[in-house]
Amino acid sequence: MNNKTWTILQLLNWTSQYFNENGIENPRLDAESLLAHSLKTDRLRLYLNYDKPIHKDELREYKKLIKRRIKREPLQYITGYQEFWSLNLKVARGVLIPRPETEILVEEALKTFPQNKSFDKTINILELGTGSGAVAIALAKELQRGSIVATDISDIAIKTARENAKVHGLEEQITFLKGSLFEPVRERIGTFNLVISNPPYIPIEDFRDIQPEVRNFEPRISLNGGKEGLKFYRQIFSQIGRYLAKDGWVILELGKGQAEKVTRLIELTGEFNPTSIIKDFSGIERVVKAQRKDRK
């Protein structure tokens, strides 16, 4: 990239080609997102002003962003934000980036506790491993009767989640607690109508094969599911019976190929009705859902 005067369109075309040549997965989208972020505008306005020249100081700042992306730093860490459930959420290094498929957790929770359902009590929800707070915040937005507790072992995750909840005016509906899984709520026996989680599920032996954006930048603690990726599912189902209310539900995200093994873990507890498996947009079995048996 030389020092000539560039227009917005010329810069987008050049960056898209450069990203493509360097193996960036969505070269045009990333070019648009980075330039819009750099110019403090949105992607639509880039094309409305496609022939606008870029000033030297703007070009200098944009080059810095390009260099970061070429090193495979995730776009979301560069811009500082990710959209989830039509909410603009802050993400920071050390916090897992919310994925589109995780919205299925929210969808299934809303199907389980629809707003028009006759349910005159507060819905007590526990999210394990909240990360940026994406799932908890989406549920708080949609469920006026929801009282949500969200836990995470990471200080930066809890801090980020609280900031996101405050930005969206939902901080009164969610209590964020630091600690591993159920540890911060160990006194709340038989309390929760729903336990929901996207636990770490990547098998440790698969890390060398995952995208460098994930492997080199996202927090390992939020990804590493141990051998077979089942470590946290085992921990969850060894404890969940203590915390679920009568007829309570569990909804968990799954890694690819894990549905059968996680279903077996659920069956072995002897505490749940038959499970439901929900596929994602790619046809991958992505979410497991089960209700606790009626303990008469």
Return the pLDDT at 217. 96
**Paired tokens of 218:** 């996202």
- Report the CATH fold assignment for 93-291: Rossmann fold (3.40.50)
Return the pLDDT at 114. 81
Query: Considering only CA atoms, which of 208, 194, 204 is closest in space to residue 225?
Result: 204
Q: Where are the alpha helices (DSSP H) in the chain?
A: 8-21, 27-38, 43-48, 56-70, 75-79, 103-112, 134-142, 155-167, 212-217, 231-243, 259-269
Helix (H) or strand (E) holding 286: strand 285-291
Return the pLDDT at 293. 87
| Domain parsing of the chain, residue ranges | 8-71, 93-291
* Max CA separation in the chain (angstroms): 77
- Residues of the chain below pLDDT 50: none
Calpha distance 242→80 (Å, rounded): 38
Return the pLDDT at 1. 62
Q: What are the φ and ψ backbone dihedral angles of 139, each rounded to 5 degrees?
A: -65, -40
**Paired tokens of 85:** 């459930």
